[in-house]
Amino acid sequence: MDNAVETKNLTKYYDKLLAVDHINFETKKGEVFGFLGPNGAGKTTTIRMLTGISKPTEGTATVMGYDIQRQPIQAKEQMGIVPDVSNIYSELSAWDNLVFTGKLYDLPKELRDTKAEELLKMFGLYERRREKVQGFSRGMKRRICIAMALMNRSSIVFLDEPTSGLDVQSVLIIRETIRKLNQEGLTIFITTHNLEEASQMCDRVAIINRGKIAAIDTPEKLKRTIQGLQSVEVAFASTPVNALNDLKEFPDIREVVKEGDKFRLFTDDPSSVLASVWNYSQSNNLNLITVNTLGPSLEDVFVNLTGIRPTTEESKRSDKNK
């Protein structure tokens, strides 16, 4: 048995709404498996079925060889879960949260205490172990939640959006922890909106859209499937007000996207676009500070498959102004 997770026709209906539609996939033991998809695609519903919170309407799922429906106790013993919301007991201290989790897994007292101390030190929270977690920041609560998922020395950890909305320090600690845990042999099943994060961390990713698996492969192989989609990234020292519209008028341009202070021009012919950019900068007396030609990113694959571009604050503001 090389697979940590295996699903066969896994399906979930909420009344008449089909949330997950007969999905089939495998996660290999020891890999970091990314589960990507837009909001409402079925990511969290899939995790909830795999972890036993929710019962599938149809199909089966095994975790570390145990059927989550028929052998739920054995399957659950193998896993740690970090849900999309930090579900910790805010009335309890950091220490008590971890110890209680140890009790749920029936760990002996000595082992509970050792593990709690080890994990709190690992996540930089040992000094504040006696404080009630209701006073902790969002990032600290997230770290506690991950520490709780590691109390039972599981073989696989499910993380649902583990770094979403966190401060930079917490994001870095969490990513580093995930890497280390994976290096020690733990299988990681992670859902994320952060495609850059998925591209950097995951051995393989599955893209789910409208309840169906749209693609599943390594990030690099997925990028190769849309190799024809190339882009030129440009930034000017001072950006003209109507630059976005001007750039869209260039020949051979498929799409222009404003990304922060840069523009990304999607094209099949980067050399032609480079010439157009140069002419535009000269005729408007603009100083070019960045010019890059880029291959397709995981985000491009995602957009290509789902038709949804992940929104940034910048693009939201731009849309609002329009």
Partner 1 sequence: MIKNNVEDKVTISGSHSSRFMREIRVAWAIATKDMLTYYTKPAALMFGILFPFTLFLSFSIGRDIPLAQQIPMLIAQTLFFASSSIGPVVIPMERANQTFDRFLTAPVTLLSVLMGKTLAGIIYGVGISIIPVIVGVSFFGSQIVNVGALIACFALSSLAFSALGIMFASIPGQTPGQVMMPLNFVRIPLLFISGIFTPIGDLPTWMQVVSLLSPLTHTVELARYGLGTGGFFGPIINIAVLGGYAAVFVFMSVRFHILNQRKE
Interacting residues toward partner 1 by CB under 8 A = 14, 48, 51-55, 72-74, 76-77, 79, 81, 83, 85, 87-92, 96, 100-101, 103-108, 111, 115, 118-119, 122, 150, 153-155, 180-181, 184-186
Residue placing its CB nearer to partner 1 in the complex, 77 or 217: 77
Q: How many CA atoms lie within 13 A of 205 on its CB side?
A: 28
Residue placing its CB nearer to partner 1 in the complex, 73 or 241: 73
Q: CB of residue 10 vs partner 1: minimum separation in angstroms? A: 15
Which residues are registered as beta bridge partners of 34?
190, 205
Q: How far is the CB of 239 from partner 1 (least distance, A)?
A: 44
Q: How far is the CB of 109 from partner 1 (least distance, A)?
A: 11
CB of 91 to partner 1, least distance (A): 5
* CA-wise closest residue to 302 among 205, 162, 171, 164: 205
Closest distance of CB 59 from partner 1, Å: 14
What SS3 string covers the chain?
Answer: CCEEEEEEEEEEEECCEEEEEEEEEEEECCCEEEEECCCCCCHHHHHHHHCCCCCCCEEEEEECCEECCCCHHHHHHCEEEECCCCCCCCCCEHHHHHHHHHHHCCCCHHHHHHHHHHHHHHCCCHHHCCCEHHHCCHHHHHHHHHHHHCCCCCCEEEEECCCCCCCHHHHHHHHHHHHHHHHCCCEEEEEECCHHHHHHHCCEEEEEECCEEEEEECHHHHHHCCCCCEEEEEEECCCCCCHHHHHHCCCCEEEEEEECCEEEEEECCHHHHHHHHHHHHHHCCCCEEEEEEECCCHHHHHHHHHCCCCCCHHHHHHHHHC
- What is the smallest separation between the CB atom of 64 and partner 1, expressed in angstroms? 12
Cβ distance to partner 1 smaller for residue 135 or 251:
135
Q: Which is nearer to partner 1, 33 or 280 (CB)?
A: 33
Residue (156 or 305) nearer to partner 1, CB: 156
Nearer to partner 1, 90 or 282 (CB): 90
**Exposure string (b/e) for 148-162, b if CB count within 10 Å is 16 or more?**
bbbbbebbbbbbbbb
Closest approach, Cβ 89 to partner 1, in A, equals: 6
Pick 140 or 277: Cβ nearer partner 1: 140
Shortest Cβ 273–partner 1 spacing (Å): 48
Q: Which is nearer to partner 1, 63 or 301 (CB)?
A: 63
